[in-house]
Structure 1
Amino acid sequence: MDSRLADVLMLGELLREVHPEKSVREAASYCVQAAAANATAVSLNRPLFDAFHSLSKGQRRALRASAVPPIDPSARGRDVVVSHDAVRYVRKTLEAFARSGVGIVPEEQEAAFFARIRELQDRITALSQQYDTALAEDRRGVWLLVPGAAASNATPPAAAASAPGPPSLAPKDALPLSGTVSVEGLPADFVAARLRSVPAASLAEAVAAHTGLTDSAPAAGDSKEAPAVVPLPGPLAAVPPSGAPPVTVLEISTDYPDAGPATKYAIDRRLRAAVSLQSARRGFPQNQATLASLLAARAELSRTIAEAKAKAGAVAPGRAGGPLDADQCSPAGLSLQSMMAKEPAAVRTLLDRVLAIARGPGERERLALERMLRQDPAQQTPPGEANPALPDGLRSFDLGILMERVRRSAFNVSSDRTRAFFTYALARRGVITTAARLFGLRFAVVAAPSLGAPDDTGIGGKARDRALDACLNPDFAKSLTVCERPVITPLDESAVAVEASAVPDAHRWHPSVEVIDVYTVADGSDETEDDDGQEPFSSAPAHTANRGAYIGRLYLDAFPRKDKYKHMAMFPVRPGLMRWQEPSEEGRRRRQLRAAAEEQQGGAAGAAAAARRGLASSRTTSRVGASALARAMSRRSRVGSGGDGSEVVLEQHPEAALVCNFEPEGPMEHSDVVTLFHEFGHALHHLLGGRHQRFTAFSGASTETDFVEVPSQLNEAFAWDAAVLASFAARKRTDEEMLAEGAGAPQVEVIPGDLVDRMRAADAAGRALGAWRQAYLSALSLRLHAGEFAFSPDAEPKAAPANAARRMVSPTDGKDGQQSLEPSGDGGGPPSGPPSGQSTCPPLPETKTPLDAAVNLIADETSPLPPMPGSHLASNFAHLVGYGSNYYSYTWSDVIVKDMLGPFEAAKAASASAEAQPANATGAESPADGQQGKDVDPDAGSLLSARNAAHRYRRDVLEVAGRLDGDEMVSAFLGRDFEYGAYEAWLGEGMGAAWLGEPGQDASAPGEAAAPEAADKTPAS
């Protein structure tokens, strides 16, 4: 049941975010709603709860004389009722039932109570999807007029020579700016790639759409066709006359590859503010009402459950008989019960501690940046252009360019210099080879990316109607597994790039998606190999046996396109699952007969047969017939069953998708390389954590939300290691450099180690300010879900079309057998509130708070920088929907990661020390991280030398996945609980840097000592 629901939810959530066809995205959304409704029904199923409760009693009786068996990550075999995983699964399921009130509410009140919970859960799901869809489809930007011969605009020659393409923004979504706004500071390649030829009529339409509008929401009935945008200084005043030829504009959209560089490099503050404002208004005004309604629904759900528990006497220990507090009744309190933090008080303690550490150093950084801004004439508002939309004082859109100046002047690090060493192709190779070397993996491409037009194959093509129509019936999950396992081309370990031949049946939703299969290294240690050297039921052909065990599949959807998810994320596509079952009585009888026949064979053949039988028995699974194996290999979800009645094994390999928005060609920011490593860490967690899992609930990244960022943030550390970067980061040297050095000069320069050292030092600049802002966003998500505010539920979720009615059926629900999720036809509808009785939750504020007012109040109290006038963070802060109250998870995980990096750093230091020591008398080198006997260790002094630490991390964290709690995994890896010391030390790095000045001293602004490197920049961008 869990597996089928997971298949629907995972693939549906992916397709609604990435598929190029709107009809497919809408169908996927309705599939997700149907599956979520089914999951809600399961979570409220009293007979299912009773069954688990009885099973729990049986487990307790069986374990009365002994403790629960410890977890064994390499365990194989049948599901055992008293195994560690089974005991944990039953316990976690009962805890989830309890959080929903099942088994607590009196039986006579259950029907009304469950109906209300289902209604609220369905509403929450629909509103969440409505918010995400509005954000994904809201693409805005600016059009900056580029006069053909206007020297004042200083259009770079390379850009001027480029043929402008057609605009990708609609006039109503493009804020027009005049040619007086400079493009100085923007890289020449960035400008050249974004020149557009816009018809004069379209430009006039854009001017009309953005003239005279205020920051208020449109009146009822208005839509995004007439967006409310604050006019910025430098708007286009002169509209081309009717019939005028097309004009050339620089189009900068709110997509990640556009907005990031624009706000980081543009010297003209008006341009940075315009792009930042357009980004900060995405989703407005639709998502204001949607999020307010979502928060109200979450609050009602948590209060309904808390009040029901209180009336039944099932309250937290120590509070029995007393009134409930605000935390117990809040969405945050309900959600955090299943987190490492357990309750809001622990999150507040974390944020108070982080703020105590970061606020002082962060204030020094803020003041230093404020001085830089104040002392730079180019950052001052031109006379006569005062406007609230371009306020004085430091704002978030100033940080990028000011920190770039700090890196240049104080650390001699220029983004012009560093980005020359990176492209997406290089970064992709680097993240894959790093994972292969550290974690013993192999990767094989089965479908290479193409930037051509979408074809009619793969997910969303010929399989689309079958797959998405099937979501409306109970066989949805089964019908989606339509792909046959492709033939894999062996990968040469020494190859510079990962290459393999294309496979036509590797289904994907767009031709630009790359499909990669992941294997372990065949070193003889993998216990999943069967007696013929192949993994049981593995789809890997014989010639790939040296690859080891097949793990799963990875999709790389790396490049931006219209209507695609706008940020970076890992989407789980399928959970990994493996389960054994007992053979039938007939199967046992046939096995005995076969064994007797083998014994009569005698000689080597009989011995070999007996050995195979013994090996199979020790692993509690036997080989299936050849025909059954062939059938099993034809699907990625395989159910093998021998005709001889032998044991049945079900195996489903995990699949994950990295959805990113990188430029396919051209230079790449190092920050984007770090992001790729981050998301790849999530993918490794899902794939490795999906191996050998008996329960879908524990598969992949199914840990507590406040632990789920640990693998991703730890993987970021490798993107800062000099040896890792040197393994893939390189640039082609210019002809001038080659001539200057003479014959024999190398054509390619690998990123220098001293540059990486300076990059690491520069990364510490602004770190405290960044931690302060993360604490603010964490406080924002917590307080909006903590009962502090009351929001008006004005928005209604959009209704599904008639042909998308949910037809999924819940399991047995109550005494009447199966119950459809269709609304009942009695017209009465579900009850409007919790069970009768006096409320025990403290009342919510009587006054409804406008969402922006609540956000601004929290910002005034906590944020290091005031919000930009005209911005609407609540309309486009998607984590408020996906993470709810739990955005603190990034900071919580960061504290854990800095501590868990200790063994990696220790191995790195030990290997460097061993490499520096002379060989001993026997000629052997000193050991480094358990390795010895090598004359030269090429990885010495780098994180790549921490192979033992990486092996333990894979074993104790990545592969364990949800089979242990987060604190148990930390303890298994570190041998103790996590501590704050490493995080505090990391946060304090760089506090003595000269650019900050002395505390309390008005130091001069850095940046005057180092001029911009004009060779890599436009003369005026």
Structure 2
Amino acid sequence: MTLSPLQLPSTADAATWGEWVRSRSTEELDRARELVGTIRTLPPNEPMAALRAWDRATGHLGNAAALGSLIGNVHPDEAVRDLADTAEQEAQRLATEWSLDRELYDAFAALDGTRIEEDPLATRLLEKVRKDFRRSGVDRDEKTRDRISAIRDRLTELDQEFSKIARDDVRSIRVEPDRLAGLPQDWLDAHPAGDDGLVTVTTDYPDAIPVRMFAHDQGVRRDIQTAFLQRGWPEAEPLLQEMFALRQELAALVGYYDWPSYDADVKMIGQGHAIPEFIEKIVAAADGPMRADLEVLLERYRRDYPEANEIPLYDSFYYQEQVRQEQYDVDGQRVRTYFEFPKVRQGLLDVTGRLFGLRYEPVDVPVWHEDVTSYDVFRVDGDALIGRIHLDLHPREGKYKHAAQFTLTDGVAGEQLPEGVLVCNFSRGLMEHDHVVTLFHEFGHLLHHVLAGHGEWFRFAGVATEWDFVEAPSQMLEEWAWDPAVLRGFATDANGEPIPTELVEAMRRSDDYGKGIYARTQMFYAAMSYWFHADEAKRAAGEEVASLTDRMIEFQQRYAALPYLEGTHMFASFGHLGGYSSAYYTYMWSLVIAKDMFSAFDPEDLFDPEVAGRYRDSVLVPGGSKDAADLVADFLGRPYSFDSYAAWLARQ
């Protein structure tokens, strides 16, 4: 059976898009309700029919939710974004309604599992569906179920409101042109002075990152860093406080001590209290590297500020760049000249196509904005279309401000092609190498989504593993953005000269500098993510808990390598507090696994087809059909370990 990608509206007209969002979401939700209705009449001796109907229903539900989430974050028209947010809310509301439906739960509880024992995936699905119902609180009394339903509806609204604040709160500073000395010429050319003679610098990444790295004027660096860390404040704080309190209440209502315990129950880590234990393990491992990094940084800083005892946060990016230039002979402005966006994008496609045996064919299809480029994806050993991807990679007003892969459709064999979207905010011209690495990382999610979109069940399609594993494949793909031979294939300057191997090797050495600072910064974020939620159990018990700002400052002082910047409230735009909730630790947990998986590749031949093919077929293609630990063991031939990560962290 030949499947076709989703057909988006043929015109960019907002009214057309709004009507399409309404009709598409309504059709998907109606089909989902129809399928669930059939389950109620099935006898217990037909478990496969019940599971099939449930899985297809949740697939249609997922289509509506994914559509709402994507379009609500990318469409240029605010009215369309609002309609998409409403569609996502409706999908979440229906999911909550089903999860608390005692009749549905009883139907699945009564299914005769012995009839599917010879089908491990069906058995796995039945176990997960039953656990989902139990975790939802379906076995509670009617009053409690009503309260759970209300909480879940409100949490969806809060998550969207918080996301909107983080997305839309773009701040700016106004600067005299001569205070921007040090910025790359292409950046200066793109930022002419206004009628008042001042240049506007925004907190969007293509503005803020180069200014923090290259501007010689300390005041400019301080002002843009302060503005960046004030985004979302004060509007986001009451939303977050309500979000954390409702999550705690929900966890308690379904029988868990706190939200982190509830959330961790379906992750690799297993238990909430294991999160701070993991944080402390990383903190200890990173202590020596962090101190070594800071010693080097402070020595350089004192050449300009002899009395300094620490490096202010707003100076850290600039002086880390100075260290890279002076001690590692890596000039970030020179590096940028090799990474022109169009060549990087094509290079990414060439590298991943060669690595995983894929080819990408550009297609001219309707999309939501002219910046978006679309490609059909094929296996090189066949002509069948296996998915479609869309790359939306430049900033604009009203668009999601970070970098992420969004689902448009999940894929299931014979039912629906996988279709995914990269939403990023990169320069249209020259890119920092960090952004090249980010692009490879996010594309890793997109590959996972497409390659794992050809199984039997929606539940296991795409990036459907435990949430603390999903970053590992993307983190591993970053390694190809650091390899000299790989980069020389597409990183060329204006004269067509490839980036020198010795420069890439120096970049790698300079990247090793700063790992300790990076790891400790990540643990600061992870501590906020965990304790902001864990504190709610104390508050619910009547204990007094400090404000979010005070707790943030406390965690920064305890875990981070760099000091708090007075007057800032970083958590107010820390979008991961929405989707990741208490589990930001997952980035470092995944990195431990990513470093171990990468150890299976030969550094002299990163395109070895045997290893790359085994990785693709053992880790990516199965999606969520096995536990993540088993997928990794299938690839490595052993359980994963901490050793590769520890060795990487200690490398100087």
Shifted more, 762-771 versus 399-408: the winner is 399-408
Distance 2:165 2:517 in 1: 31
> Match for residue 518 of structure 1?
377
Equivalent residue, structure 1, for 2:88? 32
Residue 475 (structure 2) aligns with: 713
Instruction: Work out the CA distance in 1 between the residues paired with 2:174 and 2:535.
Output: 42
Answering whether residue 624 of structure 2 is matched by residue 966 of structure 1, we say no
Who is 2:146 aligned against? Answer: 115
1:196 aligns with 2:193: yes
SS in structure 1 at match of 2:175: strand
Q: Deviations over 1:13-48 (max 9, x none)?
A: 011111110100111111111111111111112222
Which of 349, 358, 361 in structure 2 is aligned with 1:444? 361
Q: Distance in 2 between matches of 1:62 and 1:288?
A: 49
Deviation at 1:85, TM superposition (A): 1.5
For 2:403, the aligned partner's letter is: M
Offset at 1:660? 1.1
Aligned Cα root-mean-square deviation (Å): 1.7
Partner of 1:653: 417
Contact 2:324 2:510 survives alignment (8 Å): yes
* 1:89 matches 2:118: no
The answer on whether the counterparts of 1:710 and 1:894 sit within 8 Å (CA) in structure 2 is yes
Between 1:980-989 and 1:349-358, the stretch displaced more is 349-358
1:272-311 mapped onto 2 (5 Å cutoff): 272-306=221-255
Alignment correspondent of 1:786? 534
- 2:136 equivalent to 1:100: yes
- Which residue does 1:310 correspond to in 2? none
Q: Partner of 2:131: helix, strand, or coil?
A: helix
> Per the alignment, do residues 266 and 392 of structure 1 end up closer, same or farther by CA in structure 2, a change over 3 Å counting?
farther
- Relative to the length of structure 2, the TM-score reads 0.89
Q: Match of 2:374, SS? A: strand
Structure 1 match to 2:336: 419
Q: 2:378 is paired with a residue of what secondary structure?
A: strand
SS in 2 for 1:512: coil
Alignment-mate amino acid for residue 424 of structure 1: F
Residue 765 of structure 1: which of 513, 532, 544 is its match?
513
How far, CA to CA, are the matches of 2:434 and 2:420 in structure 1?
A: 23
Is residue 525 of structure 2 the alignment partner of residue 862 of structure 1? no
- Counterpart Cα distance in 1 of 2:102 and 2:535: 29
Task: Report the counterpart of residue 928 of structure 1 in structure 2.
Answer: none
The amino acid across from 1:961 in the alignment is G
- How much has 1:515 moved relative to structure 2? 1.0
Alignment map for 1:257-406 (pairs within 5 Å) = 257-306=206-255, 328-377=256-305, 393-406=310-323
Aligned to 1:1012: none
Q: Using the alignment, how far apart are the partners of 1:787 and 1:963 within structure 2?
A: 35
Structure 1: segments with no counterpart, 5+ residues: 64-81, 147-152, 154-181, 198-245, 307-327, 381-390, 448-505, 523-546, 579-649, 734-747, 792-842, 909-940, 991-1021
Q: Secondary structure at the match of 1:661?
A: coil
The question of whether the paired residues in 1 share the 8 Å contact of 2:376 and 2:388 is answered with yes
Asked whether the equivalents of residues 263 and 272 of structure 2 are also in contact (C-alpha less than 8 Å), the reply is no
Give the 3 Å change call, closer, same or farther, for CA 264–980 of structure 1 in structure 2: same
Which residue matches 1:983?
Answer: 645
Larger radius of gyration: 1
Check whether the contact 1:332–1:782 (CA below 8 A) recurs between aligned residues. yes
> Which structure exhibits the higher relative contact order, with contacts defined as CA atoms closer than 8 Å and separated by 6 or more residues?
1
Note if contact 1:145-1:247 (Cα within 8 Å) is conserved in structure 2. Answer: no
Please say if residues 37 and 122 of structure 1, whose CA atoms lie closer than 8 Å, have aligned partners that are also in contact: yes
Q: Is the 8 A contact 1:789 1:854 kept in 2?
A: no
Kindly indicate whether the alpha-carbon contact (under 8 Å) linking 1:185 and 1:266 is maintained by their aligned counterparts in 2.
Answer: yes
3-state DSSP of counterpart to 1:780:
helix
Measure the CA separation in 2 of the matches of 1:62 and 1:678.
Answer: 38
- Kindly indicate whether the alpha-carbon contact (under 8 Å) linking 1:369 and 1:402 is maintained by their aligned counterparts in 2: yes
Judging by fraction of residues, say which structure has more helix: 2
In structure 2, how many angstroms separate the alpha carbons of the residues matched to 1:139 and 1:860?
27
Render the CA deviation track for 1:852-903: whole Å, top value 9, x for unaligned: 1222222232222222111111210000111001101100000001000111
Q: Deviations over 1:120-160 (max 9, x none)?
A: 111111111111111211111111134xxxxxx3xxxxxxx
- 1:905-939 Cα offsets, whole Å, 9 max, x none, are 3xx4xxxxxxxxxxxxxxxxxxxxxxxxxxxxxxx
State how far apart, in whole Å, the 1-side matches of 2:548 and 2:280 are.
24
CA contact (8 A) 2:97 2:149 kept: yes
Of residues 122-131 and 357-366 in structure 1, the stretch that sits farther from structure 2 once superposed is 357-366
Match of 2:441 among 653, 659, 678: 678
Offset at residue 509 of structure 1 (A): 0.5
> In 1, Cα distance between the equivalents of 2:119 and 2:288?
50
Judge conservation of contact 1:299–1:787 (CA < 8 Å) in 2: no
The one of 469, 485, 494 equivalent to 1:723 is 485
2:494 matched to 1:732?
A: yes
Distance 1:392 1:268, change over 3 A: farther
Show structure 2 runs of 5+ residues with no match. 1-56
Which one-letter code corresponds to 2:558 in the other structure? Answer: E
Deviation at 1:788, TM superposition (A): 5.7
Shift in Å, 1:61 = 6.1
TM-score (norm 1): 0.57
Q: Which residue in 1 is equivalent to 2:502?
A: 754
TM-superposition CA deviations, 1:95-135 (whole Å, max 9, x none): 111212334x3xxx2x1121011011111111111111112
Partners of 2:359 and 2:640 in 1: CA distance: 32
Match of 1:251 in 2: 200
1:826-860 deviation per Cα after TM superposition (whole angstroms, max 9, x unaligned): xxxxxxxxxxxxxxxxx534335322122222223
CA distance in structure 2 between the partners assigned to 1:550 and 1:563 by the alignment:
33
Q: What amino acid sits opposite 1:60 in the alignment?
A: T
Matching residue within 580, 585, 605 for 1:883 = 580
Deviations 1:585-631 (A, max 9, x none): xxxxxxxxxxxxxxxxxxxxxxxxxxxxxxxxxxxxxxxxxxxxxxx
> Does structure 2 conserve the Cα–Cα contact (< 8 Å) formed by 1:722 and 1:942?
no
> C-alpha offsets along residues 243-292 of structure 1, whole Å, 9 cap, x if unaligned?
xxx32211110111000101111121110110011111111111011111
Contact 2:165–2:573, Cα closer than 8 Å, also in 1:
no
- Deviation (angstroms), 1:758: 1.2
Give 1:694 deviation, angstroms: 2.0
- 1:507 is aligned, of 366, 370, 395, to 366
Tell me the SS of whatever aligns to 1:571: strand
